[in-house]
Amino acid sequence: MSPPFSSDRAPRHLRPQGGPPQHRPAPAGLRVGQRLVVTPAAYDADGFATAQGQRASMVIWGGVAGEPGEVEVRHIGQNRIRSRFIQAAQPAAARRAPPCPRYDACGSCALMHLQPEAQRDVRLGLLAEALRALPGLPLPTTMVQGEDGDENYRHYVKMAVGQSDLGHIRVGAYRRGSHDIVAIPDCVVATPRLREAMATVAHHIIDLDLRPYNPANRTGIMRHVLLRQSRIDGRVLCLLVTGRNHRLLKELATRIMGSASGISGVWAHFNDEAGNGILGWGAEGEGPGFSMLEGAPLITEQLAGERLLLGPGDFFQVNPGVADRLVRDVRDAFADLREYPVVDLYCGVGAFTLPLARAHGYAFGVESLPGAVMHAKEGAEQGHLGAEFFVGEATAQLAAVAERLKGRPPVVVVDPPKKGLEEGVFEQLLALKPARVAYVSCEPTSLARDLARFAAAGWTVSALRAYDMFPQTAHLETLALLEPPERPAPPTSTLRRRVVRKPAG
């Protein structure tokens, strides 16, 4: 029997490796909708399989590297062709049927069509590729996994509110490559309780006819729904992001709280700004504002045995089971340096600060979001921990940290957003003369850039670990432990908590 398709139908520049010779790409010869056979060679940072021509590359949704497959061209750009996998005459051993019915429409889980071990190989490969220019690194060959597994692990979900062509309200994820909304009631990476909460909130938004907000003409109300579940007690915090206030929001919150979906508190945040940002930044640049609508304001989490308080706009890892392993590992990695105080840059609600304050006796946290710092402080107080927090940009706050350290060398944790360490942070960090740095990163390319800067300053990477924080996707969390050219002597005096006395009267 002849195969269902043949590589002869492919333009010559995209023929499978090992088949007829590959020639210069000729995107002009392609048309949208055309089917051809391609053997991708690698994956891009988003988890798309890639095939490289001389003048153009092709990215293939659902492709598997090394597997010749029929693809359909979806978009032809100047340098990049977008396509979608259709079928393979001989599916690769790594391929599987994605366990989620919305895998293709939603598009959030780009590697779900691969067996779990094959996915981990891809994530480790992308990390190795990003770090390729740095010689001699102890690259990880396995990933640290959490107890929650590769499905049901997400304790945080975001849904957008939009409408169908017929004007029906839709609540769910953005359809892959578009701003249409696709309902995701069966999302297999969300916890079962969050799936229930998602369905409940979507139902009541539709039932109350709370229409999507349109920033262009300031009509409608709803923009997004964010739900976070505590891994410790299962409670769920709900944040309704709306373009404007409306009397029915209170009714929505009451209905949500009255449902049996485990939601323990409902907040609102108003964002009337144009653009794709979910949270608006507030009038004075002082951070997003929130109003409590119903129930309890916070949920609690626990990492490395420390209780943390989470509010509606705070950053916290989506996979607390893996985050717990990561925080314990950082704490253990500093075990021989307990006499040094801790500096935790980009500290959020104190995920590292609080456990390290317990272990080292004293820790400083720096974070730009005032709400997260408020919750970090409260968490430290409840845990009777020696910790101080600085609100603001790391670049601006590092001088205050140095002032408090008064020359005592610290150990430092940095856990920056995707862009890595911003201008000015690196130099100020080195000036603190750290005894060791734990660099936690969610973006291999900015990690590579920053590790190169440390290397140029004489630092060495003593360990690199990969954490499987986002199964089914191309993303991962990495921990790099960095050693200074010369370790500073431990401080001779300890730090004490600053007591702020209330003025008399």
Site residues (vs ligand SAM, CB under 6 A): 315-317, 346-348, 351-352, 366-369, 372, 393-394, 415, 417, 422
The DSSP secondary-structure symbol of 108 reads S
Q: Which is nearer to ligand SAM, 58 or 369 (CB)?
A: 369
Q: What is the largest CA-CA distance in the chain?
A: 94
Q: Which is nearer to ligand SAM, 381 or 422 (CB)?
A: 422
Q: Which is nearer to ligand SAM, 60 or 469 (CB)?
A: 469
Report, in angstroms and rounded to the nearest whole number, the Rg of the chain calculated over CA atoms: 25
Q: Give strand ranges (E) for 347-502.
A: 363-367, 387-391, 411-414, 436-441, 460-467, 477-483
> Least distance (Å) from ligand SAM to the CB of residue 169?
31
- How far is residue 122's CA from residue 447's CA, in Å, rounded to a whole number? 18
For the chain, give percent helix, strand, coil, nearest 5: 25, 25, 50
Q: Which is nearer to ligand SAM, 10 or 429 (CB)?
A: 429
Q: Measured in whole angstroms, how far is the alpha carbon of residue 85 from the centre of its chain?
A: 26
> Least distance (Å) from ligand SAM to the CB of residue 307?
14
> Least distance (Å) from ligand SAM to the CB of residue 3?
47
- How far is residue 379's CA from residue 348's CA, in Å, rounded to a whole number? 12
Neighbours of 2 (CB within 10 A): 6
> Least distance (Å) from ligand SAM to the CB of residue 362?
18
Tokens 């080195």, residue located:
430
> Least distance (Å) from ligand SAM to the CB of residue 399?
13
Q: Which is nearer to ligand SAM, 5 or 346 (CB)?
A: 346
Task: Name the residue among 328, 7, 312 with its Cα closest to residue 320.
Answer: 328
Q: Burial level of 408, CB count in 10 A (0-12/13-18/19+)? A: buried
* DSSP alpha helix (H) spans, 131-191: none
Tokens 């599916």, residue located:
91
> Least distance (Å) from ligand SAM to the CB of residue 315?
4
**Residue least distant from ligand SAM (Cβ):** 348
Angle between helices 353-360 and 370-382 (to 10 degrees): 40
Sequence-distant (≥ 6) Cβ neighbours of residue 95 within 8 angstroms: 64, 67, 88, 113, 114, 115
> Least distance (Å) from ligand SAM to the CB of residue 190?
19
> Least distance (Å) from ligand SAM to the CB of residue 429?
12
Task: Name the residue among 75, 153, 68 with its Cα closest to residue 109.
Answer: 153
Q: Which is nearer to ligand SAM, 14 or 330 (CB)?
A: 330
Q: Which is nearer to ligand SAM, 207 or 286 (CB)?
A: 286
> Least distance (Å) from ligand SAM to the CB of residue 160?
21
Q: Measured at the alpha carbon of residue 484, what is the angle toward residues 143 and 133, in degrees to the nearest 5?
A: 55
Q: Which is nearer to ligand SAM, 316 or 467 (CB)?
A: 316
Q: Which is nearer to ligand SAM, 159 or 347 (CB)?
A: 347
> Least distance (Å) from ligand SAM to the CB of residue 233?
19
Q: Which is nearer to ligand SAM, 173 or 351 (CB)?
A: 351
In the β-sheet with 181-182, what is the strand arrangement from edge to edge? 181-182, 169-174, 156-163, 222-229, 236-242, 263-270, 291-295
Task: Name the residue among 346, 342, 349 with its Cα closest to residue 379.
Answer: 349
> Least distance (Å) from ligand SAM to the CB of residue 441?
9
